[in-house]
């Protein structure tokens, strides 16, 4: 199964913690950008995809008309008749009933809503421009429009956040039949407003770990499986598009800053809005051909993010050859000896207590 990703870089304002490629304002370029994405799609030969994910940025800022044109262009350029899942990200302040209607009418069957918190003080300190009420209204609207598959993003470690406020956010979301939650730990990335001026009341590292652990227990008690480091889902509601990515599958990304992984090659478009609009097919800036050793280590690292599946070295050996897997097994066994991974036959899984410190383990496996 191959995935199709579309990057929509527009945002109403830059959130204080954000280091994604997103462009505040410049909304007058939305139509031209939509046309450019369709031009890039047409430059590919017609091919089929199992999943579609329109992310950003803020895709709901496209508005109904541009969204309708984008989806019509994608259906025209590709064979999307076998789409198993089609997701669009939306932010509470810009999603409308008309936008959701067009999305649904064009085959979108999953909404990922950027809620982040249902505490107005936390939202404001993070530079988010929506309120808790607006997020609840957006969620209600998506349900009224008939979306049964709704995911919400939540941030752990926001300034001033306590378990009391986080529990309120989780209780409200789970009470509103959200079936998937992406729970991200806030990290201060270089180049962000937070890096330049860190908030005084950020929870410390230990507090953040405790908040995440409590959130995990809370969600698990309500039937959510912790299936990936930052993702929780009710049975059958895992994100198929991202599962393909974590399983090392192929995907094509369209749009400024979008990345692709096809036939052993990885490439990326330049992160420039105007440059992309001028020449979408020429936006590709980086291309690397992965050697088998690098590819298998990367696949193992990605698969370890899947907390219940992990990585099965038998499967990796069948794909890449036994002789190529010896080094990987040695590194995995090293992490088992340190009690950072658990070994079940030929399968390796992240130790449940290491989820919050998994970056170090994943870096060792990749090495
Ligand atoms: S809405 Fe999302 S992509 Fe846009 S600035 Fe905020 S965090 Fe970044």
Same domain (yes/no): 238, 323: no
C-beta 113 within 6 A of ligand 1? no
Comparing CA positions, the residue from 350, 301, 299 lying closest to residue 320 is 299
pLDDT of residue 361: 87
Residue 230 forms part of a structural domain = yes
- The per-residue pLDDT for range 250-276, each reduced to its tens digit, is 999 999 999 999 988 899 999 999 999
One domain, residues 215 and 302:
no
The predicted pLDDT at position 322 comes to 83
Q: Give me the number of domains the chain comprises.
A: 2
Q: What is the distance in A from the centroid of ligand 1 to the CA of 257?
A: 14
**Distance, CA of 106 to CA of 72 (rounded, Å):** 8
- For ligand 1, is residue 14 a contact (CB within 6 Å)? yes
Helices 132-144 and 97-105 cross at an angle (nearest 10°) of 40
Q: Evaluate whether residue 117 is within a structural domain.
A: yes
Say what the pLDDT of residue 45 is.
Answer: 87
Q: Which atom of ligand 1 is nearest to the CA of 11?
A: 4
**109 domain residue, yes or no:** yes
pTM, full prediction: 0.96
Local confidence band at 40 (pLDDT 50, 70, 90 cut-offs): very high
Find out whether 261 and 250 touch, Cβ atoms under 8 Å: yes
**Using CA atoms, how far apart are residues 117 and 152, in angstroms rounded to an integer?**
10
Which of 45-49, 226-230, 290-294, 334-338 bottoms out in mean pLDDT, i.e. has the lowest? 290-294
Which residue has its alpha carbon closest to ligand 1 atom 7?
A: 18
Are residues 62 and 91 in contact, defined by beta-carbon separation less than 8 angstroms? no
95 C-alpha vs ligand 1 centroid, how far in Å?
A: 14
Query: Domain limits at 177?
Result: 3-244
How far is the C-alpha of 104 from the C-alpha of 312, rounded, in Å? 38
The answer as to whether 252 is a domain residue is no
Of all protein residues, the one whose alpha carbon is nearest to atom 5 of ligand 1 is 14
Q: What is the pLDDT of residue 336?
A: 95
159 in contact with ligand 1, CB cutoff 6 A: no
24 CA distance to ligand 1 middle (Å): 9
Q: With bands split at pLDDT 50, 70 and 90, how would you rate the model's confidence at 231?
A: very high
Q: How confident is the model over 99-144, as pLDDT tens digits?
A: 999 999 999 999 999 999 999 999 999 999 999 999 999 999 999 9
Q: What span, in angstroms and rounded, lies between the C-alpha atoms of 280 and 201? A: 43
364 found inside a domain = yes
Whether 300 is covered by a domain: the verdict is yes
Looking up residue 327, the CATH number of its domain turns out to be 1.10.10
Residue nearest (by alpha carbon) to ligand 1 atom 6: 15
CA dihedral 115, 118, 120, 124 (to 10 degrees): -30
Cα of 322 from ligand 1 centre, angstroms: 43
Q: Which atom of ligand 1 is nearest to the CA of 22?
A: 3
Q: Kindly give the distance from the C-alpha atom of residue 165 to the centroid of ligand 1, in angstroms, as a whole number.
A: 22
Which residues, 6 or more positions from 60, have their beta carbon under 8 angstroms from its beta carbon? 88, 89, 90, 91, 94, 95, 96, 99
Does one domain contain both 319 and 216?
no
Tell me, what's the pLDDT at 41? Answer: 97
Cα-to-centroid distance, 193 and ligand 1 (Å): 12
Contact 355, 361 (CB under 8 A): no
One domain, residues 169 and 307: no
d(CA 143, ligand 1 centre) in Å: 23
Q: Going by CA atoms, what residue is nearest to atom 2 of ligand 1?
A: 57
Answer yes or no: is pLDDT of 321 > 90. Answer: no
59 CB less than 6 Å from ligand 1? no
Note the pLDDT tens digit of each residue in 143-200: 999 999 999 999 999 999 999 999 999 999 999 989 999 999 999 999 999 999 999 9
Residues comprising the chain, all counted: 367
15 close to ligand 1 (CB < 6 Angstrom): yes
Instruction: Residue 125: give its domain's CATH number.
Output: 3.20.20.70
Task: Please tell me the distance from the alpha carbon of residue 333 to that of residue 76, in angstroms, as a whole number.
Answer: 49
Instruction: Please name the residue whose Cα sits nearest to atom 3 of ligand 1.
Output: 57
Count other C-beta atoms under 10 Å from residue 249's C-beta: 17
Per-residue confidence (pLDDT) for residue 289, from 0 to 100 = 85
Q: How far is the CA of 12 from the centre of ligand 1 (A)?
A: 8
Ligand 1 lined by 56 (C-beta under 6 Å) = yes
Q: Is 114 helix (H, G, I), strand (E, B) or coil?
A: strand
Q: Which of 7, 12, 27, 56 to mutate to test the pocket of ligand 1 (most atoms within 8 A of CB)?
A: 56
Cα of 174 vs centre of ligand 1, distance in Å, is 23
Task: Give yes or no for residue 60 CB within 6 A of ligand 1.
Answer: no
pLDDT exceeds 80 at position 367? no
Nearest residue to 7 via CA among 64, 59, 66: 59
Within a domain: 272: no
Please tell me whether residues 300 and 239 are part of one structural domain: no
Report the atom number in ligand 1 closest to the C-alpha of 91: 1
Q: Are residues 172 and 238 in the same domain?
A: yes
User: Does residue 204 share a domain with residue 309?
Assistant: no
What pLDDT score was predicted for residue 338? 93
Contacts of 144-147 with CB under 8 Å at 24 or more apart are 144/97, 145/97, 145/100, 145/101, 145/104, 146/104, 147/100, 147/104, 147/109, 147/110, 147/111
- Pair 61, 184 in one domain: yes
């Amino acid at each position: 199964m191959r995935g199709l990703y579309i990057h929509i870089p527009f945002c109403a304002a830059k959130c204080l913690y954000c280091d994604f490629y997103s462009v505040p304002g410049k909304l007058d370029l939305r139509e031209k950008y939509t046309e450019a994405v369709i031009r890039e799609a047409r430059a590919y030969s017609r091919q089929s995809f199992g999943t579609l994910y329109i992310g950003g940025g803020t895709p709901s800022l496209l508005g109904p008309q541009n969204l309708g044109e984008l989806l019509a262009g994608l259906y025209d350029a590709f064979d999307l008749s076998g789409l198993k899942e089609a997701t669009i990200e939306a932010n509470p302040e810009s999603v409308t009933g008309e936008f959701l209607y067009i999305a649904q009418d064009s085959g979108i069957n999953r909404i990922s809503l950027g809620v982040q918190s249902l505490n107005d003080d936390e939202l404001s300190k993070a530079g988010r421009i929506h309120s808790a009420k607006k997020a609840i209204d957006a969620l209600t609207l998506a349900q009224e429009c008939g979306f049964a598959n709704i995911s919400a993003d939540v941030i752990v470690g926001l300034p001033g956040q306590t378990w009391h406020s986080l529990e309120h956010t989780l209780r409200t979301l789970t009470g509103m039949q959200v079936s998937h939650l992406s729970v991200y730990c806030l990290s201060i990335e270089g180049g962000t407003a937070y890096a330049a001026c860190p908030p005084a009341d950020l929870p410390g590292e230990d507090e953040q770990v405790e908040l995440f652990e409590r959130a995990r227990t809370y969600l698990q008690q309500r039937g959510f499986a912790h299936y990936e480091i930052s993702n929780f889902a009710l049975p059958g509601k895992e994100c198929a598009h991202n599962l393909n990515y974590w399983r090392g599958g192929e995907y094509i990304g369209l749009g400024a800053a979008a990345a692709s992984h096809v036939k052993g090659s990885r490439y990326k478009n330049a992160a420039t809005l105007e440059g992309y609009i001028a020449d979408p097919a020429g936006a590709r800036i980086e291309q690397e051909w992965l050697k088998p050793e690098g590819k298998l280590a990367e696949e193992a690292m990605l698969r370890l993010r899947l907390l219940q599946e992990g990585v099965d070295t038998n499967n990796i050996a069948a794909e890449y050859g036994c002789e190529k897997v010896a080094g990987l097994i040695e590194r995995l066994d090293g992490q088992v000896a340190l009690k950072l991974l658990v070994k079940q036959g030929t399968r390796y899984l992240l130790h449940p207590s290491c989820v919050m410190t998994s970056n170090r383990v994943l870096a060792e496996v990749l090495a």
